[in-house]
A and B are shown apart, each in its own frame.
Chain A
Amino acid sequence: MSPSLSRDDVAKVAKLARLRLTEEELTTFTGQLSGVLEHANDMNSLDLSALQPTSNPFGLTNVTREDVIWKSLDRDAVLAEAPDAQDGRFAVPRILGEAP
């Protein structure tokens, strides 16, 4: 598959990633990202259908912990690091829509 990354693609991706780009940045990033994707052509031309994907190098399984309660953080200390807090909670500007 030959990558042809458009400015629109980059703009869409920036929106998904909650980043704002200037027109100039959009141009620069489109070129740079296309370069990386073009390099990935060496990989994309291979038929690897027989291989399983590897997400983690060593296939550990069933790593769990016992259901034990530990000490939680001090709320005031945590909220002191927060950009904005009120009534023991983290404060944010208005939320535009329900969670997906």
Chain B
Amino acid sequence: MKKRLPKIGFHFFCTIIYVFLLAPIVVVLMSSLTATDYIVFPPKGLTLRWYVELVNHPEFMQSFMLSVFVALGTSLISTAIGTLTSIAIVRHQFKGKTAIVQLVGSPLLIPSVVFGVALLQFYSWIGLAASPAALIIGHIILTIPFVMRLVVASLVGFDRSIEQAAMNLGAGKFRVFFQITLPIIKSGVIAGAIFSFITSFDDLTVALFIVSTDVVTLPVRIFTYMQYQYDPIITSVSSIMILLTIVLMIIIERVLGVGKVFASKNQ
């Protein structure tokens, strides 16, 4: 009897949190189906009109493609650098190791606005104009800490005698890396890749400082569009972004299980 009450309290608390987290998403998804010319919740009527309407806004499509391109580029490069750095950090002792760990982790601590301003200053100083490359570089810096956290977690407890066994059987260094090491830590690497993709794809704060009139990522496009208009097309674009993220999360879940991605240690 005594234990019941805290348990009910716990469930209640959990429910509140779920509602709090999920409500905005549900609101956006549902509002995108409204038949009205303005955003309302609950939606009035039910139509896919605002999705069809997107065809008349090629700038959204353009931004979407740019965002996907930037996110893919970020994800690939960030995962490659992050994975190799993680291996170096976990396995070797070298001078300045702590400094590198701190430096690489610092984007997690600095507010993205500050980081965006800094990046803007730096780019104008070296004369790098707004471009997909400029965005990708910014996002790489932003996402490497995530990749490293995940890859380091999957490297902790990695039994190096497995690699020795492969060498023993005649495999050279590259073979060992690609045929043995990488497949074994692949859960961390894939999770890192997907996380950096999502982070880059969703980033508004940093991108705001870098974009120009013809290089505009999707979140920035939505943001600027909303400053002038407030029609449900915003909600349909947002819904598409949400759905894409959900699909990626499902892939993570399928490939690795969410628990593992968020766990700090490899079990």
Do A and B share a complex?
no
Residues in B lying within 8 Å of A, measured CB to CB: none
